[in-house]
Amino acid sequence: MAKISIVDLEVFYRVGVPDAERAQPQRLLLTVEMEADFSAAAKSDAIADTIDYFAVTQGLLKFGEGREWKLIEKLAADIAGFILAVFKPQAVTVEVKKFVIPQARHIAVSLTRAK
Protein backbone atom coordinates (compact mmCIF):
# COMPACT_ATOMS: atom_id res chain seq x y z
CA MET A 1 0.00 0.00 0.00
CA ALA A 2 1.19 3.51 -0.80
CA LYS A 3 -0.20 6.98 -0.20
CA ILE A 4 -0.81 10.16 -2.18
CA SER A 5 -1.18 13.28 -0.04
CA ILE A 6 -2.66 16.64 -0.92
CA VAL A 7 -1.70 18.95 1.95
CA ASP A 8 -3.52 22.16 2.92
CA LEU A 9 -5.49 22.68 -0.28
CA GLU A 10 -7.15 26.09 0.06
CA VAL A 11 -10.89 26.00 -0.66
CA PHE A 12 -13.78 28.33 0.07
CA TYR A 13 -16.97 26.61 1.27
CA ARG A 14 -20.04 27.72 3.19
CA VAL A 15 -19.78 26.05 6.58
CA GLY A 16 -20.83 26.97 10.12
CA VAL A 17 -23.62 26.44 12.61
CA PRO A 18 -24.98 30.03 12.63
CA ASP A 19 -26.67 31.18 9.42
CA ALA A 20 -24.47 34.28 9.42
CA GLU A 21 -21.34 32.12 9.30
CA ARG A 22 -22.66 30.28 6.23
CA ALA A 23 -23.69 33.52 4.48
CA GLN A 24 -20.33 33.76 2.70
CA PRO A 25 -17.84 31.06 1.74
CA GLN A 26 -14.96 30.90 4.18
CA ARG A 27 -11.38 29.78 3.78
CA LEU A 28 -10.68 26.18 4.76
CA LEU A 29 -7.59 24.04 4.30
CA LEU A 30 -8.09 20.42 3.26
CA THR A 31 -5.55 17.65 3.64
CA VAL A 32 -6.39 14.41 1.85
CA GLU A 33 -4.41 11.18 2.01
CA MET A 34 -5.40 8.42 -0.42
CA GLU A 35 -4.10 4.87 0.06
CA ALA A 36 -3.88 2.49 -2.87
CA ASP A 37 -1.63 -0.03 -4.56
CA PHE A 38 0.51 2.05 -6.92
CA SER A 39 2.80 -0.79 -8.01
CA ALA A 40 1.38 -0.76 -11.57
CA ALA A 41 2.04 2.99 -11.85
CA ALA A 42 5.59 2.51 -10.57
CA LYS A 43 6.23 0.05 -13.42
CA SER A 44 4.30 1.75 -16.23
CA ASP A 45 4.88 5.44 -15.45
CA ALA A 46 1.28 5.96 -16.67
CA ILE A 47 -1.27 8.29 -15.06
CA ALA A 48 -3.99 5.73 -15.82
CA ASP A 49 -2.40 3.38 -13.27
CA THR A 50 -2.64 5.77 -10.34
CA ILE A 51 -4.93 8.36 -8.77
CA ASP A 52 -4.74 11.64 -10.68
CA TYR A 53 -4.13 14.12 -7.86
CA PHE A 54 -4.74 17.05 -10.23
CA ALA A 55 -8.25 15.71 -10.91
CA VAL A 56 -8.81 15.24 -7.16
CA THR A 57 -7.78 18.84 -6.42
CA GLN A 58 -9.99 20.20 -9.20
CA GLY A 59 -12.92 18.19 -7.86
CA LEU A 60 -12.34 19.51 -4.34
CA LEU A 61 -12.07 23.12 -5.52
CA LYS A 62 -15.55 22.77 -7.05
CA PHE A 63 -17.01 20.49 -4.36
CA GLY A 64 -18.54 23.32 -2.31
CA GLU A 65 -20.32 25.06 -5.19
CA GLY A 66 -24.01 25.44 -4.37
CA ARG A 67 -23.65 23.51 -1.11
CA GLU A 68 -23.35 24.30 2.58
CA TRP A 69 -22.69 22.46 5.82
CA LYS A 70 -23.25 23.28 9.47
CA LEU A 71 -20.50 20.99 10.78
CA ILE A 72 -17.00 20.34 9.49
CA GLU A 73 -17.51 16.75 10.66
CA LYS A 74 -20.23 16.32 8.02
CA LEU A 75 -18.13 18.13 5.44
CA ALA A 76 -15.16 15.80 6.06
CA ALA A 77 -17.43 12.74 5.75
CA ASP A 78 -18.94 14.05 2.49
CA ILE A 79 -15.48 14.72 1.02
CA ALA A 80 -14.32 11.22 1.98
CA GLY A 81 -17.39 9.69 0.36
CA PHE A 82 -16.82 11.72 -2.81
CA ILE A 83 -13.18 10.65 -3.10
CA LEU A 84 -13.95 6.98 -2.43
CA ALA A 85 -16.74 6.96 -5.01
CA VAL A 86 -14.97 8.87 -7.78
CA PHE A 87 -11.26 8.11 -7.40
CA LYS A 88 -11.47 4.63 -5.82
CA PRO A 89 -8.62 4.57 -3.29
CA GLN A 90 -8.55 1.69 -0.79
CA ALA A 91 -8.84 4.26 2.01
CA VAL A 92 -8.94 8.01 2.39
CA THR A 93 -8.17 10.31 5.30
CA VAL A 94 -9.60 13.83 5.20
CA GLU A 95 -8.64 16.70 7.49
CA VAL A 96 -10.59 19.97 7.41
CA LYS A 97 -9.04 23.05 9.04
CA LYS A 98 -11.25 26.01 9.89
CA PHE A 99 -10.13 29.45 11.12
CA VAL A 100 -12.94 30.80 13.30
CA ILE A 101 -11.41 31.00 16.77
CA PRO A 102 -9.01 33.97 16.89
CA GLN A 103 -7.10 32.54 19.86
CA ALA A 104 -6.37 29.25 18.04
CA ARG A 105 -4.31 28.67 14.91
CA HIS A 106 -7.16 26.53 13.57
CA ILE A 107 -9.86 24.04 14.45
CA ALA A 108 -9.59 20.68 12.68
CA VAL A 109 -11.54 17.50 12.12
CA SER A 110 -9.93 14.41 10.66
CA LEU A 111 -11.51 11.10 9.65
CA THR A 112 -10.59 7.97 7.73
CA ARG A 113 -12.90 5.92 5.54
CA ALA A 114 -12.15 2.71 3.63
CA LYS A 115 -13.94 0.79 0.89
The answer to whether the CB of 74 falls within 8 A of the CB of 60 is no
pLDDT greater than 90 at residue 1: no
Report the topology of domain 2-114.
GTP Cyclohydrolase I, domain 2 (3.30.1130)
Mean pLDDT value of segment 83-111:
97
State pLDDT tens for residues 57-93.
Answer: 999 999 999 999 999 999 999 999 999 999 999 999 9
State pLDDT tens for residues 24-63.
Answer: 999 999 999 999 999 999 999 999 999 999 999 999 999 9
Q: Tell me, what's the pLDDT at 10?
A: 98
Domain spans in the chain, listed from the N-terminal domain onward: 2-114
Q: Of 89, 91, 62, 92, nearest to 76 (Cα)? A: 92
